[in-house]
Amino acid sequence: MRLKDAIKAQNTTHEWVAGKIGVPLSTFRKWMTRKTYPDLKEGVEMAKLLETSAEFLATGLDREGLNDDEIKLINAYRKLTPPEQENAVLALVAWAGKRRRWLYSQ
């Protein structure tokens, strides 16, 4: 599902990605259902097109060890305006602080 999520995050289609890397749509669909897998060259090219890493597409972790949810959070953050980004960070930091205090009080 990482490939599907990456395609959705880039607001593109399976057809577009398949066309850009030069494979038939039927081949690409097999990759989507994990019936077959792309070779290394195709995987790297796909990752570049989708602005992610081949490591993330293959393992769910990126170069910095981020998982799917962390990547989604970062992608959502990047779509915000600068004032919205600042508010989101402040809200998340405040929530994390409250949660940490609650956990330690138990």
Q: What is the pLDDT of residue 1?
A: 66
Question: Ramachandran region of residue 60, left (φ > 0), alpha (ψ -120 to 50) or beta?
Answer: left
Does the pLDDT of residue 61 top 90, yes or no?
Answer: no
Query: What are the domain boundaries of the chain?
Result: 2-66
| Range in 37-41, 50-54, 73-77, 96-100 with the lowest mean pLDDT | 96-100
User: Hey, what are 54's tokens?
Assistant: 């081949």
How far is Cα of residue 41 from the mean position of the Cα atoms in its chain?
A: 19
21 falls in which pLDDT band (50, 70, 90)? Answer: very high
64 CB neighbour count, 10 Å cutoff:
9
Topology at the third CATH level for domain 2-66: 434 Repressor (Amino-terminal Domain) (1.10.260)
- Helix ranges (DSSP H) in the chain: 2-9, 14-21, 25-32, 40-49, 54-59, 68-78, 82-105
What digits encode the pLDDT tens for the residues 70-101? 878 888 898 999 999 999 999 998 888 877 66
